[in-house]
Amino acid sequence: MRWTGGVELDPHVLHVAIRWVHVAAMATAFGGAITVLALSTRPGADSAGAVIAVAVRYEWLFWAAAGVLAMTGIGNLAAFGAALLGPATNWGATLLLKLGSVLALVVLSLPRTLAVARISASTVGTAPGSVTTLRNLYGATSGAFAVILALAVWLAHG
């Protein structure tokens, strides 16, 4: 593979870079969800505004990370191509389960994003009930990410 300027680029280096970007996007999305969850468990109504502000920022990061994860995930699948095991194998079935879990997380994240937007726009957004709602939403998001991460680790080492 040639890079501009006549420099030759090893395709393995590109594949490793794509995997690292994939892992960094996952860490951003998962870590952000855990951060909002942790902030929402702190006692005190004074912190409700801060939790909502962080949740709003996280939603932007989440959707950017989701796009990066989709692109790099497709890149990872393309890099391995025909060497991937089929769905009839344990590895292939786990890959399908992971992909289905990712799809479910993305689809179910839209209502979370809309709820955060509604809470941040409301005049009662700093009410303790809003923080409880955010805690539940980000607890579910963190749990889904944990399952997807466990599946990814199993795939990498299985």
- pLDDT tens-digit series, residues 77-127: 877 776 777 777 888 899 899 999 999 999 999 999 999 999 998 866 566
Q: How many whole angstroms separate alpha carbon 84 and alpha carbon 129?
A: 47
Query: Token pair 């912190």 is at which residue?
Result: 47
What's the rounded mean pLDDT across residues 118-144? Answer: 85
**3-58 pLDDT tens trace:** 556 667 677 788 888 889 999 999 999 999 999 999 999 876 567 888 999 999 99
pLDDT of residue 88: 77
pLDDT at 81: 72
Alpha-carbon distance of 84 to 132, in angstroms, equals: 43
Do the beta carbons of residue 51 and residue 131 sit within 8 Å? yes
Residues 18, 19, 24, 30, Cα dihedral to 10°: 130
Query: Is residue 33 within 8 Å of 145, Cβ to Cβ?
Result: yes
